[in-house]
Amino acid sequence: MEPELLRRQLPSEITAGTTGKRLRGSIPYNAPANIVERGRKFVEVIRPGAFGRALTAGRDVIATFNHDIGRLLGRTASGTLTLTDGPDALRYEVELPESAADVRELLARGDLRGSSFTAAPIGREGDRWKGDYRELLALELFEVGPVVSPAYPTSAAELRSGGPVILAKLLPAALVGLMARSGG
């Protein structure tokens, strides 16, 4: 049975200018979001530690712009994307490539308002439903990055000049291949 893939987009705050080389974002814990998916309305919350598996050695998570794998921004395997778990959020930081000058400009101008992630609940213990309330407890993380249209009510992202998501039904074939290679 294939995992249920989920994609969620998070509002962001951009605080730096266009000379930034690093993008920082977060996926908040304990922040309820109103979700409409396949005609069903429900409240969803990510619990602290849900992304613990993403932080294990050997996992390759990618950062993209607007979930487009053709717009790769970084990845954990190359060291251009780092993930850090905290009590209030999973944080990500990506070293933006020169080819992402448009992303830097859009972030600096405030045109991009969100971070996003692609993940899947891990086994039967990955999520828990109580009526129209869903808790995400254990998630396999595949992708993070800036997006145009956020869905979650809280998150943070900033563009920095100094030297860490989304749940979906379908992923492009290349991302599915990445999942297979990383043991997901």
- Distance, CA of 159 to CA of 65 (rounded, Å): 14
Calpha distance 129→163 (Å, rounded): 42
Mean pLDDT, the chain cut into blocks of 10 residues (184 residues total)? 63 43 86 86 93 81 92 95 91 90 85 82 93 95 83 46 32 41 46
Is residue 40 a contact partner of residue 184, using CB atoms and an 8 Å limit?
Answer: no
Q: What is the pLDDT of residues 41-67, one digit of tens each?
A: 999 999 999 998 878 767 899 999 988
Q: Collapsing DSSP states into helix, strand and coil, what is residue 54?
A: helix
Rounded distance between C-alpha atoms, residue 23 and residue 119, angstroms: 20
Q: What is the pTM of this model?
A: 0.76
Give the whole-angstrom CA distance, residue 6 versus residue 45.
13
Q: What is the rounded CA–CA span in Å between residue 165 and residue 76?
A: 16
pLDDT tens per residue, range 134-156: 999 999 999 998 887 665 544 44
Strand segments, DSSP code E, in 47-124 are: 62-65, 68-75, 81-85, 89-95, 114-121
According to the model, what pLDDT value does residue 66 have?
A: 87
Question: Could you tell me the two tokens for 81?
Answer: 């994307």
